[in-house]
């Protein structure tokens, strides 16, 4: 079987192949732009097509690629000369795309670029130039099934709650037969989503410059020890191999982003949304992000950047805010977000989104993220056992990923 080529290698190859000659000539007549996305949600697609219909310089089509194979498919297309004109980019892939030179510069095409929140653009910039627009900047929060908490004799928590309070409440619900706390989209595999917990201890997967593993440092050891005890001693989280659907009323809490609020439209239980609990390091926010970039080698790159400026202008960003929290300071207010998110109360939007975005820490990202994710996951598997010693396991994680951080 042929070994999989890392995404960073494919992007670097594609950028290098395009650096020695002219960009391919654009076809005659109005351009047809193709934009790769990972959603197939009908409401999302309807909104995208409605916005695109107002753009008169090109026809735009949206190509949905399954999330599980999204980055691999996209980078393979780029390296093979079949790249889309525009593409969504996951936060974990941002360093590969930005550093490789695969993306066209955007700063001059973005309307009112100065109002973009610095915390939201940091990941997508290089040498002062913006290479992808942070169209979805979504802080993690905790949806809480307040009915289950009351049935377990627990008070409904409020802003300023702590991780210990959260786990105690989750454990009480689990003792009554339902699940406690679910970490959305983790499933003991995608460990980057655990940043929503470990940032409460001030822990980090690697240093800010990306060169040093942080898994075996005291803050991470303390956070993962807390998580391990919460799973295997307090039974506050479903164990490995257990699937629980919060939205059907089967769990007390779920850590996720506000875009999932729509799944609660027909909920048969009372619920609320809270910011992440405070940890020993105090109050914090963790952001999941996606950017939209223009593939530099596209023969339609010029019109694609123009369309991206249109797609993300203040008016259209307000429409997109229904599903994708905006990075524009002018839109980070209760009136705009309440109109776009009718299921959420103004105080919930203020506490989780408006207060969370400016000071949020983006989920871990690094060059060669794909290999780091898989290597880290394999090394962390030993932690998800009742008798595991967190420090020993985390030392093993660093032994595995440290060589990748320096490559």
Give residue-wise pLDDT tens across range 271-319: 999 999 999 999 999 999 999 999 999 999 999 999 999 999 999 999 9
pLDDT, tens digit, for every residue of 215-225?
A: 999 999 999 99
Q: How far apart are CA 380 and CA 243, in angstroms?
A: 19
Terminal C-alpha separation, the chain: 24
Contact 395, 233 (CB under 8 A): no
pLDDT, mean over the chain: 92
For strands 271-275 and 133-145, give the pairing. Answer: antiparallel
Residue 23 exposed, middle or buried by CB count within 10 Å (0-12, 13-18, 19+): middle
Average pLDDT over residues 180-199: 97
pTM of the model: 0.88
Contact 100, 6 (CB under 8 A): no
Average pLDDT over residues 246-253: 98
Of 368, 335, 358, nearest in space to 134 by CA: 358
The token duo for 189 is 């595999």
């Amino acid at each position: 079987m042929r070994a999989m080529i890392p995404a960073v290698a494919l992007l670097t190859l594609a950028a290098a192949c395009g650096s020695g000659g002219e960009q391919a000539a654009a076809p005659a007549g109005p351009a047809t732009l193709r934009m790769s996305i990972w959603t197939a949600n009908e409401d999302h697609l309807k909104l995208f097509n409605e916005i695109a219909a107002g753009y008169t310089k090109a026809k735009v089509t949206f190509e949905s690629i399954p999330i599980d194979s999204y980055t691999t498919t996209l980078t393979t297309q780029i390296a093979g000369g079949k790249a889309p004109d525009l593409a969504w980019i996951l936060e974990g892939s941002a360093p590969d795309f930005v550093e490789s030179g695969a993306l066209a510069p955007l700063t001059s095409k973005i309307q009112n670029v100065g109002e973009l929140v610095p915390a939201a653009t940091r990941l997508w910039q290089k040498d002062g130039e913006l290479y992808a627009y942070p169209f979805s900047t979504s802080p993690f929060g905790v949806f809480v099934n307040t009915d289950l908490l009351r049935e377990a004799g627990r008070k409904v928590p409020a802003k300023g709650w702590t991780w210990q309070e959260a786990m105690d409440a989750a454990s009480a619900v689990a003792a009554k037969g339902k699940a406690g706390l679910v970490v959305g989209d983790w499933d003991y595999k995608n460990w980057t989503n655990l940043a929503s917990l470990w940032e409460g201890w001030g822990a980090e997967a690697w240093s800010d410059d990306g060169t040093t593993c942080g898994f075996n440092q005291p803050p991470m050891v303390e956070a993962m020890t807390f998580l391990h005890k919460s799973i295997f001693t307090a039974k506050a989280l479903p164990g490995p191999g257990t699937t629980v659907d919060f939205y059907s009323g089967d769990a007390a809490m779920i850590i996720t982003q506000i875009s999932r609020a729509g799944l609660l439209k027909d909920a048969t239980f009372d619920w609320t949304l809270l910011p992440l609990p405070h940890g020993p390091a105090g109050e914090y926010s963790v952001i999941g992000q996606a950017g939209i970039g223009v593939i530099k080698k596209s023969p339609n790159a010029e019109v694609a950047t123009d369309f991206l400026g249109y797609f993300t202008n203040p008016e259209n960003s307000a429409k997109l805010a229904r599903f994708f929290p905006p990075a524009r300071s002018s839109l980070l207010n209760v009136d705009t977000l309440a109109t776009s998110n009718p299921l959420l109360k103004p105080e919930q939007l203020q506490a989780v989104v408006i207060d969370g975005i400016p000071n949020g820490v983006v989920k871990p990202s690094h060059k060669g993220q794909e290999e780091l994710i898989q290597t880290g996951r394999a090394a962390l598997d030993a932690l998800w056992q009742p008798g595991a010693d967190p420090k020993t396991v985390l030392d093993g994680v660093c032994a595995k990923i440290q060589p990748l951080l320096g490559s």
